[in-house]
Every structure is written in C-alpha cells, then in structure tokens.
Structure 1
C-alpha cells in the first residue's frame, strides 16, 4: 500500500519535472529564434551622437541642476 503510493508519487513527480523542463526548454528555444529573427529583419537604428547630447541637455535646465546641487550641499553640511 505505502510502496504503491510512493511509487505513484515518484512517477508523478518525474512526469511533472519533465514537463516543466520541456516547457522551459521550448521557451528558451523560441525566444532565441525570435531574437535572431528580429535582429535579422528589424535591426536597431543607431542614433547620432548629436541627438543623444541634445536630448540629454534639453531634459534639465542648468538652473535646476544648480538648485539641486545647492540643496545636496546644504543637506550634507547639516548632517555631518
């Protein structure tokens, strides 16, 4: 009785582990294939360095940077 239950539980465990392993293996293979297809047929466009610099400088004004720097400096002076 107990041996039958242990054998059945071991069989069920092996079937479950094998099915999860198979699913994960298929998932990795499909993701790899999709990644290769996307790289081949839809390559990433490289942005110009000038566009990156403009985007970075347009985001925050120098006055905001100065205010944040002053606030950090003041905080550090008060919490030594």
Structure 2
C-alpha cells in the first residue's frame, strides 16, 4: 500500500518536472526565434553621438564654476 503510494508520488513528480522542463525549453526557443526575426526584419540602427558630449568632455563652463564657488563660499559662511 505505502509502496504503491510512493511509486505514484514519484511518477507524478517526474511527469511534473518533465512538463515544466518542456515548457521552459519551448519558451526559450520561442524567445530566441522572435529575437532572430526582430533582428532580421527590424535591425537596430546605431544612434548618432550627440554634440553635447564634446562640450562635456572639455569640463564645466565658467558660469558653472562660479555657481559652485558661490555655493561653497555660502556653505562655509554658515558653518
């Protein structure tokens, strides 16, 4: 009796694990297929680099430096 119940439980567990594995495998395959189709029919075009990056690389402008200096000076006066 107990052996039969354990065998049924083991059988049900194996069937459930196989079903979950099959579902996840199918899901991965479908996602990969959609990815291939999207890349083929709707390729991603590289974005142009904004001109703002060149000015940011040279450092902050004089107005920004003056504002930071004024803020630091005001903070130190309050201390």
TM-score range, shorter chain: 0.5 to 0.7
- Equivalent residue for 1:54, pick from 36, 52, 55: 52
Matched positions, count: 63
| Match status 1:13 vs 2:25 | no
Question: Could you say which residue in structure 2 is the equivalent of 1:77?
Answer: none
1:44 aligned counterpart, secondary structure: coil
Shift of 1:43: 0.5
Give 1 or 2 for the bigger CA radius of gyration. 2
Q: Which runs of 5+ in 1 are unaligned?
A: 72-80
5+ residue gaps, structure 2, are: 73-79
1:33-78 Cα shifts (integer Å, max 9, x gaps): 00000000011111112x2x537x79xxx439x84xx88xxxxxxx
- Once residues 52 and 32 of structure 2 are traced to their aligned partners in structure 1, the CA distance between those partners, rounded to angstroms, is 35
Give the aligned CA root-mean-square deviation in angstroms: 2.9
Structure richer in helix, relative to its length? 1
> Could you tell me how far apart the structure 1 residues matched to 2:10 and 2:30 are?
30
